[in-house]
Chains A and B, each alone.
Chain A
Amino acid sequence: MSAPVPQPIGLLAQYETAADILHAAVAVRDAGYKKWDVFTPFPIHGMDDAMGLKKSKVGYFTFCGGLTGFSFGMWMIWFMNKADYPLVVGGKPLFTPLFAFPVSYELTILLSAFGTIGGMFLLNGLPRLYNPLFNVKRFKKASDDKFFVFIEMADPKFSTEKTRELLQHAGASSVEVVED
């Protein structure tokens, strides 16, 4: 087997300050790119809006998890106390949402949390063991003191010259091609 020939997959631009990367993100967003991302050593206030990110969809997973938990709690207690093994406790009805509520409520919270965590991993594609960006030496600085923008070649607006020009115009200290 011959080793695969590295193919270019996109452009990586390095920025020196948080303000630079914020403005670069605005520039890339306004240029209409879709397949790109920003890498910073720490969260930057306002980056979501600068990148034009929409509201996260994790909330829907949370909601579905919560709804499942609540319904399951209610069903479980109904099934156990009324359907499967009817048992009178303290002269109370065999089933009422009242005493089923605390348990259902706890299950709502538990499954909401599961939904949130599961949904997050599903949407962000983690865990991911390999990323072509790891091949770039300077990218290690993304967890230290440098800021990066990566634009994929797969983006319909991508053109090696124009994209490079855009990134440099936005104040990049270096722009390089990433290969995989």
Chain B
Amino acid sequence: MNVFRPFLRLAALMAFGAALVFGPAAVAADHAEPAAAAAPAAPADAHAAPAAAAHGHEAAATAEPTILQRFAYSYLTAFMFCLSIAMAGLIFVILHHLFDAGWSVSVLRIAEHLACLTRPLFLALIPLLLLQGEIWRWLHVNPATDHALDVKKVLFNRITFNVVLAFVFGLWAWMATTFRKYSLAQDKDGSAIWTRKSRVLAAWGIYAFAFSLTLAVIMLMMSLQWQFFSTIYGVYYFAGSFWVTLATIYGLIRWLSTREMKPVIFPRQIHDIGVLFFAFTVFYAYIGFSQYFLIWNAAIPEETFWYVDRERGSWWAVGLTLLFGHFFLPFLVLLRIDTKMSLAVMAPMILWAWVMHYLDMTFNIMPVLYPKGLTITFFDPLCWFGLVALLASFFWRDYLKFPKWPQKHPRLKEAVTHHEVTGAGYAVEDT
């Protein structure tokens, strides 16, 4: 099925090309008001304007965004969406090794490939770093005039920002590559040493993962409004990421089990991924609610402004859509054990999860650029399709290139034999 690859690459190129060509025109058409015409030149100064008070964000937010900023923010949103999938793939691999799991051996190679998407994402980070001046406004603020920035300048300064991002992406790419390298080496000789090595890497890797992901999310997303702080923010991003990735893995194994992966995917794997997907629906809501509730209860202006910004205009409706669409709907749909096995229920659910996670990223990122309400430009779908097509082409290349599951994993037999799930209403194969 190599036919897919050039096609996806082409789609990625076309999306980016189209974004550059059509994006500005579409945006100009969207904002044909006379006032907007003069705006593009202004904002660069607008965020440089001294923000004497700690809450200078209100001054900066009123300027009309430039074309480049619109593109940059859409790109960041798509980037964070894609990063979710790669990072959750990585944590799936780490957890598999830490728990010495049996059932997930069948799915392990898929997760390894997803984790290795951190490598193309490292490349995709470059445009973000080139556009950093358009996205992170604190880069133009003098810490001497802004108390909130002054106390965080150890972390929020141009050098640390770039070094940290380059370092964490390098670390993730290295970890993902190493896990897959061990796994592929085991395919050849079947030696348990690779399992042992993976476990050692996973043992310290889970700490590295937690700290580096939190750091990256603080840098990439939370610092968009640098006055804001939430200690749970990294976990919030992780919870949503793992959720959407479980949906993705579910879709992938349902599809691939009709093809090459048929010998290793059983109802048990499908059921367990479905159960994890359900669990993370709740976990995401738990974390999201905790963040909101603590900020609401404490009512400290340094924190509440973040949510106040997200209650303006149509952002209020977006927030409620997330509450009901990201939590209540999937929660009620996935509550029954049999819906997790039904493709008729799960296929729309996967698409829905993608839309909801993208909306979640939009809700976190875009109010900074569009304080009046949800604004969708041409750049959004184009950046999204561009990046997703790029990652899909890498995934597909890896999928075709390597064995479809860990061939000689010590627990492979366990994964493919103990696969009955009782009471779920489907037939059990004899063991």
Cα-based distance from A1 to B431 in the complex (angstroms): 56
Q: Given the complex, which residues of B lie within 8 Å of A45, measured CB to CB?
A: 418, 420, 422, 431
> In the complex, which residues 33-58 of chain A have their Cβ closer than 8 Å to any Cβ of chain B?
45-50, 53-56
Per-position binary interface string of chain A over residues 53-77, scored 1 when its CB falls under 8 Å from any chain B CB and 0 otherwise = 1111001000100000000000000
> In the complex, which residues 148-191 of chain B have their Cβ closer than 8 Å to any Cβ of chain A?
none
Contact A49 B293 (CB under 8 A): no
Stretch in A95-103, A116-124, A133-141, A144-152 with 4+ CB within 8 Å of B: A95-103
Nearest-CB residue, chain A, relative to B426: A49
Q: Given the complex, which residues of A lie within 8 Å of B431, measured CB to CB?
A: 45-46
Contact B423 A53 (CB under 8 A): yes
Contact A101 B299 (CB under 8 A): no
Contact B427 A49 (CB under 8 A): yes
Size band of the B side of the interface? 20 to 34
Q: Given the complex, which residues of B lie within 8 Å of A92, measured CB to CB?
A: 297
Given A90-B299, A101-B289, A102-B293, A49 and B336 touching (CB < 8 A)? no
> In the complex, which residues 340-362 of chain B have their Cβ closer than 8 Å to any Cβ of chain A?
none
Q: Given the complex, which residues of A lie within 8 Å of B289, measured CB to CB?
A: 101
Our pick among B293, B296, B420, B423 for the contact of A55 (Cβ within 8 Å) is B423
B256 to chain A, nearest CB (A): 25
> Taking each of B289, B297, B423, B431, which has the highest tally of chain A beta carbons within 10 Å of its own beta carbon?
B423
Our pick among A47, A91, A99 for the contact of B422 (Cβ within 8 Å) is A47
Nearest-CB residue, chain B, relative to A50: B428
Per-position binary interface string of chain B over residues 323-353, scored 1 when its CB falls under 8 Å from any chain A CB and 0 otherwise = 0000000000001111000000000000000
Q: Given the complex, which residues of A lie within 8 Å of B418, measured CB to CB?
A: 45
Contact A55 B338 (CB under 8 A): yes
Our pick among B296, B335, B338, B420 for the contact of A49 (Cβ within 8 Å) is B420
Residue B424, interface by CB 8 Å: yes
Residue B425, interface by CB 8 Å: yes
> Taking each of A46, A47, A50, A101, which has the highest tally of chain B beta carbons within 10 Å of its own beta carbon?
A46
Q: Given the complex, which residues of A lie within 8 Å of B424, measured CB to CB?
A: 55
Q: Given the complex, which residues of B lie within 8 Å of A59, measured CB to CB?
A: 336-337
Q: Given the complex, which residues of A lie within 8 Å of B430, measured CB to CB?
A: 46
B332 to chain A, nearest CB (A): 10
Given A55-B337, A59-B336, A90-B299, A48 and B423 touching (CB < 8 A)? yes
Q: Given the complex, which residues of A lie within 8 Å of B420, measured CB to CB?
A: 45-46, 49
B336 to chain A, nearest CB (A): 7
Per-position binary interface string of chain B over residues 406-429, scored 1 when its CB falls under 8 Å from any chain A CB and 0 otherwise = 000000000000101011110110
Our pick among A47, A48, A63, A98 for the contact of B335 (Cβ within 8 Å) is A63
Per-position binary interface string of chain A over residues 71-110, scored 1 when its CB falls under 8 Å from any chain B CB and 0 otherwise = 0000000000000000000111000001101100000000
Cα-based distance from A63 to B297 in the complex (angstroms): 30
A97 to chain B, nearest CB (A): 11
Nearest-CB residue, chain B, relative to A19: B430
Q: Given the complex, which residues of A lie within 8 Å of B297, measured CB to CB?
A: 90, 92, 98-99
Cα-based distance from A91 to B431 in the complex (angstroms): 63
Nearest-CB residue, chain B, relative to A23: B430
Q: Given the complex, which residues of B lie within 8 Å of A102, measured CB to CB?
A: 293
Cα-based distance from A102 to B285 in the complex (angstroms): 12
B308 to chain A, nearest CB (A): 15
Cα-based distance from A101 to B335 in the complex (angstroms): 20
B281 to chain A, nearest CB (A): 15
Q: Given the complex, which residues of A lie within 8 Å of B296, measured CB to CB?
A: 98
> Taking each of B338, B422, B425, which has the highest tally of chain A beta carbons within 10 Å of its own beta carbon?
B422
Contact A46 B428 (CB under 8 A): yes
B151 to chain A, nearest CB (A): 26
Given A45-B418, A101-B293, A54 and B299 touching (CB < 8 A)? no
Per-position binary interface string of chain B over residues 268-279, scored 1 when its CB falls under 8 Å from any chain A CB and 0 otherwise = 000000000000
Nearest-CB residue, chain B, relative to A96: B296
Nearest-CB residue, chain A, relative to B336: A59
Contact A49 B422 (CB under 8 A): yes
Nearest-CB residue, chain A, relative to B430: A46
Given A46-B428, A49-B428, A59-B336, A98 and B293 touching (CB < 8 A)? yes
Given A55-B338, A59-B336, A48 and B422 touching (CB < 8 A)? yes
Contact A56 B423 (CB under 8 A): yes
Nearest-CB residue, chain B, relative to A45: B420
Residues of chain A whose beta carbon lies under 8 Å from any beta carbon of chain B: 45-50, 53-56, 59, 63, 90-92, 98-99, 101-102
13 extra interchain contacts, Cβ-Cβ under 8 A, other than A48-B422, A55-B337, A55-B424? A45-B420, A45-B431, A46-B431, A47-B422, A49-B420, A49-B427, A55-B425, A56-B423, A90-B297, A92-B297, A99-B293, A99-B297, A101-B293
* 20 cross-chain CB contacts under 8 A: A45-B420, A46-B428, A46-B430, A46-B431, A47-B422, A48-B422, A48-B423, A49-B422, A49-B427, A50-B428, A54-B425, A55-B425, A59-B337, A90-B297, A91-B299, A98-B292, A98-B297, A99-B293, A99-B297, A101-B289
Which 7 residue pairs of A and B lie closest in terms of their CB atoms, listed nearest first? Answer: A48-B422, A49-B428, A46-B428, A46-B420, A48-B423, A55-B423, A45-B420
